[in-house]
Amino acid sequence: MAAGFSFAGELPIELPGRAPAAVEGKPEVVAARNACVSAIASDGGDVLSRIDVLLGYAGEILGLDGTEQALECEVAVAVVDVAYLEQELSLEMLERAYGSPLADSAWGSSGACLKRGVGLLQFVEQQHMQAFGAEARQNLFRLINTLKLELQFLQQMSVVVLSLSKLRSKVYSGRRDAVLDFRDHDVAQLATNSSLYAKLVIGCYNTATKCSASTVVNKPLVSYLNCLTFLLLSLDQYSKDQCGVALGMVDQAIRYLSQIVPADRLSDSILASRKKTDFLKNAIGKRTKNPRKTLRWIRRSRREELIPVLALTLDDFVIPLAQLLRYRYQQMNEKLAYQKVEADEATLRKLFPRGKAPELKGSQWFFNRETSRLQEVASPSAAAGYY
């Protein structure tokens, strides 16, 4: 009985062990349910296929026109799990897209996954929450709210990843012979939109702090967002001739990096010694093919690991850029600026701008009786950007 159904509050949710009475004697629906159970339990496989199976089963149940609460429970579980899989699919797309020429279009596709996820959760909230008993309903409501926050966060994070792709393209121009050829003009070019990008990261951080029960948001992620904020704002401060502040900010960025990666990966001695080695170019240019770590990450404990697409940006871009900027700022300050390095984090944080966050609206869903499918309402796909 749905009123007595309970779950551990983890995703994906498993269907009750016994099928509803209304399903018995209907071979097609039973087969769809069995496929749904397998799709939920699967540790891998094609995410799109699993989504199709779950939506297919939800459509079969909705087509029964039964009033049994257990049927409502089946629909709710299947649809919430689809929203969870849309989250996985979004992360996969971001991981494949980072640093590729298709970053813009992949960002749009990732955003569409997140819109569908939010829309599906709203569908359950509006039409199928009453199927559960009081305790299970409260647990499900809490889980849905957390998942909606995660989807909102991932939407913001996808904009940050797109921003990093744009910065990466500016740095890796293929024209430098040595790291010391990275001149003030190049720093100024990077600083063009750095303040805007920092606002997006701050908005991302603000949403992350609301996800207290999330398994997507963890300590490494918070350190990463702090690092990126300081790094981007250091570019803005340097462009304003605030070399001491910029150096203090890049030092804070590297301090937060040290909470994620071993200290030996953060040494900047390579910048001072290899004057004819284009360290940054090599670090970026030698990016290996993406091993698609998202599914492995999302299936094990995420509390101590960075989201794979963000981990990819560390060696590929963030660490070498932090090393390069620290070296450049130090050289400028020692030879020309002679400014006091601002080392107090609280003082530096007072210079932070207000965060900026793109709005994530869920798509509309309905049951199409002609096709017996739960279907998304078609709407013009316009991904409003900041560029």
pLDDT digits (tens, 9 = 90+) for 180-202: 456 666 777 888 899 999 999 99
Average pLDDT score over residue span 290-302: 49
Q: Find, among 92, 142, 144, the residue nearest to 113 by Cα.
A: 92
Helices (H), the chain: 27-41, 47-62, 69-97, 103-127, 134-171, 184-190, 194-208, 219-239, 243-257, 269-273, 279-285, 294-299, 308-313, 319-332, 345-349
pLDDT digits (tens, 9 = 90+) for 121-130: 999 999 888 7
Instruction: CATH number for 2-376: choose from 3.30.300, 1.25.40, 1.10.1140, 1.10.30.
Output: 1.25.40
- Average pLDDT value for the chain: 83
pLDDT at 351: 98
Span of 90-104, 226-240, 252-266, 317-331 with lowest mean pLDDT = 90-104
What pLDDT is stored for residue 104 in this prediction?
A: 66
Q: Is the dihedral of CA 49, 55, 59, 62 positive or negative?
A: positive
- The lowest-confidence range among 106-110, 209-213, 281-285 is 281-285
Which tokens sit at 364? 């509309």
pLDDT number for residue 270? 47
Contact between residue 205 and residue 355 where contact means Cβ atoms under 8 Å apart: yes
**CA-based nearest residue to 70, from 32, 35, 31, 19:** 19
Percent of the chain with pLDDT over 70: 81
pLDDT of res. 284: 47
Percent of the chain scoring above 90 in pLDDT: 51
Report how far residue 319's alpha carbon sits from residue 265's, in angstroms, rounded to the nearest whole number: 8
**Cα dist from 133 to 148, 260, 342, whole Å:** 22, 42, 56
Q: Determine the pLDDT at residue 264.
A: 78
Q: 176 falls in which pLDDT band (50, 70, 90)?
A: very low
65 vs 20, higher pLDDT: 20
Count CB-CB contacts under 10 A for residue 276: 8
Q: Please report which confidence band the pLDDT of residue 98 belongs to, taking 50, 70 and 90 as the band edges.
A: confident
Q: How confident is the model at residue 382 (pLDDT cuts 50, 70, 90)?
A: very low
pLDDT at position 239 = 93
Least Cα distance to 40 among 89, 82, 93, 75 occurs for 82
Confidence of residue 302 (pLDDT cuts 50, 70, 90): low
